[in-house]
Structure 1
Amino acid sequence: MSAVNWPDPLSKSKELYDRAAEVMPGGITRILPWQDPFPVYAKSGSGAYVTDVDGTRRLDLLNNFASLIHGHAHPAIVSAVQEQVANGTAFTLPTQPEVALAETICGRVEGFEWVRFSNSGSEAVMCAIKAARAITGRSKIVKAEGVYHGSYDYAEVSLDSSPENWGEDPTSIGYSKGTPEGVKNDVVVIPFNDTEAAERIIRANKDQIAAIIIDPAPSYFGFVPVSQSFIEMIRRVSTEIGAVFILDEVITFRVNRGGAQTRFNIKPDLTVLAKIIGGGFPVGAVVGSRKFMEVFDHRNGKPLLPWSGTFTANPVTMTAGKIALDLYTQADSDRLDVLGDRLRAGVTEAFAKADFPGQVTGFSSMFMVFGHQRTVLDYRSGYSSKEESKLIAKLQKNLVLEGYHIAKTGKAFLSTAMTESDVDGFIAATERAARQAVSQG
């Protein structure tokens, strides 16, 4: 370890950030990992831990935002990728690894028959929405307020609405400046888990709706699971109005060997996957029955939806993804459920001991800490004031100094590389970090 460490202005992370600020807007490429006053720069990762450029080792509870289900540099994945890289990283021609990964994915869920790969979850969501429009000939999509479905104008609508603009019923609010009015007009926003209101809003637009996209446990408000009555309504109404029901399992595919749809008995038309199916490499996929996936089939001429990409289904990603899924058994998922319950119970107790006015939510291997204690059922009940968000930012920064990485928004994810000892260490550190956050005002 070097003599100085983050956030010391003489640290190597500060040196790298100063260089980055000369060649990148704000000195960063991804906004979510930003850390005030400058980011911690990683040097290496092994298992559940990351070592930064100054030599400090921290437990990584972010795992590249849920994409590393087995932690960093799993030996089996590293070995398989090294072998594939030596044989080539990308080809114009299809390869055996993409067939093998597609077979593996289809073998995990009863309703998975065909797969179309892409390079990210955002791309996969875009692809699924375009598929629904091609199938139905309609333009509008339905999404729940405050739910993240990737970096796509339509998917971002009402992602961060606030009490100042969200209205009695959810309103279509552009996320980034310059979002076209046409985009907002083609997105119908519903309240998550409010079955009656959501059905009323959907039916008012029924003849124009191409797709209803739902995340079964949205990350922006603490991984609160979808209620049975809500998701059953989505399935029923989608069928009745002729819309395509898209389930976004980019993150939640980790909560069971067959994802949240297996765990909660959800029957979507199309499913969007990413994160863990790439084994640590860029990936995305749309999966579903042949009836809906035929939109991509070129064998009778030009398909309804042509879809391609230079690095789509590259053999490195496909190889890593298959190994990662083969290693992730139902027993592993069950163990992470237990580990997650241990962590959430311990953090709840730690907050009480520290008189920290917050809470932890989530289930399975996902959790989020809030700077308030209101019951979280949807985006509005989970919405944090500026003061509450600042409290979590203080907690998060204190945890970095304690040797633990979570997101500045409070989100975090477990990996199979973690142990009970790792979790217990995090709980103890959270109590210390929470006490300090309270004392900081």
Structure 2
Amino acid sequence: MYPDPSSRSAGLFARACEVMPGGNTRLAVYQAPYPIFVARAAGCRVTDVDGVERVDFINNQSALVHGHCFQPAMAAAAAQLQRGTCFSGPTEAELELAEALQARVPGFERMRFTNSGTEAVMLAVKAARAFTGRHRIAKCEGAYHGSYDFVEAARGSSPANWGDPKAPAAVPYTKGTPPAVGALTVVLPYNDAEAAAAILEREADSLAAVIVEPVANRPGMIPATPEFLAMLRAFTRRTGIPLVFDEIISFRVGHAGAQGGYGIVPDMTTLGKLIGGGFPVGAVAGRADIMGVFDQRKGAPAVPHTGTFNANPVSMVAGLETVRAFDAAAVDRINARGSAIRTAIDRLFAEAGIPGQASGAGSLFRIHFTDRPLVDYRSAYPTPAGQTAVAGLHRALINRGVMLSANCSGNVSTVVGDAEVDQFLDAVRACLAEIAVPA
């Protein structure tokens, strides 16, 4: 049972705290009182260092769309290891992955690879600033776009400091963030087209870009309304401000990403996670004229961009196999499972007589202990009682063999079948009957 002070995970965490601040180099994997250390994984199941096997609905924060050790990607990576892991030169695999993604999405006219989603967002912001000659960035309240000062504003704001719902405050996420960063970031209310439009019109002359997640991750995988995205597209097209879609997580919800389902072509898109097949990756794709700021063929580029491990060949070959296998049928299959899970969770809350629901889109979901409509960061912000209930459900699921993120969010991989879905839902049903839900 978790937690167990005598477990190997607890011991490894104690050792880790002696060499790493907080015992980790990645906050997302921490859970109190200690994280569960992983020994191995295959398919949709993970085994920890104490030998306990669990069904994985985290998939490394949605990066493993085909689950663990997807054999075509592993075989391609293994073969590449024998040819070399990195070179001072491009490889054909980089070209092939870029071509495969370009063929999939209409707006991917040109592309550059990075090593993470955070780097991809940083690069998109740099490109937009160079292209427009302006400096300020507009983003939505509560949105997570990686660890970068200019897109972290209002990422973790609270009722104590988030300000007017029609004009959210640019609250810094990290202590020590220079005040000038807040001055360069404009925060929009997510899914409030009228209020956001008013802010954008007021700030239009200073904006280099508008960045948005078409499915907002941190609030709970909440889809943008078509009206909200249509307003952003119309405003940015009219003003010439680049519109950036952050599809690092949401790319899995459609064959052409979330943008394909909305029928909107942004000017740039940031990617990561699934396109690396389980290896580090990020990418920026977009209009040829904007992406031209990186082009060095006629002299020094407006945005010099390099990186020792950009387009690492191991990531490229694994990503290519992953993307090829993630065809339209695979997308539809996991989206159907995601929809079924969300519907079933809503039903389980109703049967238990507990206020709660699942939000999400496609194969993404998150569990909330509230029955109010969830449309944005503020509506999804949990009460103290809700936070306690989520923590209780998360721990109870761990002890019933199911892995979700600490905030009870998850995603479906292509290797999840009916048996795993039934195991998950049976565990949720049992946990709702057992845990104490504060009033």
Scaled to the shorter chain, the TM-score interval is over 0.9
Q: Which amino acid aligns with 1:20?
A: A
Equivalent in the alignment of 2:138: 142
Runs of 4+ in 1 over 3 A off after TM superposition: none
Distance 1:227 1:326 in 2: 30
Distance 1:344 1:163 in 2: 28
Query: Aligned to 1:341, which of 309, 314, 339?
Result: 339
Assess if the C-alpha contact under 8 Å between 2:63 and 2:277 holds in 1: yes
Q: CA deviation at 1:357?
A: 2.6
Equivalent in the alignment of 1:259: 257
1:53 counterpart = 2:67: no
Equivalent in the alignment of 1:92: 88
Query: Aligned to 1:355, which of 333, 353, 374?
Result: 353
Distance 2:190 2:280 in 1: 29
Distance 1:284 1:131 in 2: 15
Equivalent in the alignment of 2:75: 79
Distance 2:272 2:202 in 1: 32
Counterparts of 1:11-30 in structure 2, within 5 Å, are: 11-30=7-26
Unaligned residue ranges in structure 2 (runs of 5+): none
SS at match of 1:438: coil
Query: Aligned to 1:132, which of 118, 128, 133?
Result: 128
Unaligned residue ranges in structure 1 (runs of 5+): none
Equivalent in the alignment of 2:5: 9
Distance 1:153 1:225 in 2: 24
SS at match of 1:205: helix
Counterparts of 1:176-195 in structure 2, within 5 Å, are: 176-195=174-193
User: 1:188-238 deviations in whole A, cap 9, x for unaligned?
Assistant: 001011111001001111110000001001011122211111111111111
Normalising to structure 1: TM-score of the pair?
0.97
SS at match of 2:284: strand
Counterparts of 1:284-433 in structure 2, within 5 Å, are: 284-433=282-431
Equivalent in the alignment of 1:242: 240
Equivalent in the alignment of 1:435: 433
Number of equivalences = 437
SS at match of 2:29: coil
Q: Which amino acid aligns with 2:255?
A: R
Distance 2:169 2:109 in 1: 36
Assess if the C-alpha contact under 8 Å between 1:143 and 1:188 holds in 2: yes
Q: Which amino acid aligns with 1:245?
A: L
Distance 1:239 1:344 in 2: 35
Q: CA deviation at 1:242?
A: 2.2
SS at match of 1:368: strand
Distance 2:352 2:40 in 1: 33
137-146 or 353-362, which moves further after superposition? 353-362
Distance 2:120 2:237 in 1: 22
SS at match of 1:213: strand
Counterparts of 1:96-111 in structure 2, within 5 Å, are: 96-111=92-107
User: 1:261-305 deviations in whole A, cap 9, x for unaligned?
Assistant: 111111100010101100001100000121221111000101111
Task: Tell me the percent identity.
Answer: 43
Assess if the C-alpha contact under 8 Å between 2:389 and 2:438 holds in 1: no
Q: CA deviation at 1:130?
A: 0.6
Distance 2:130 2:438 in 1: 54
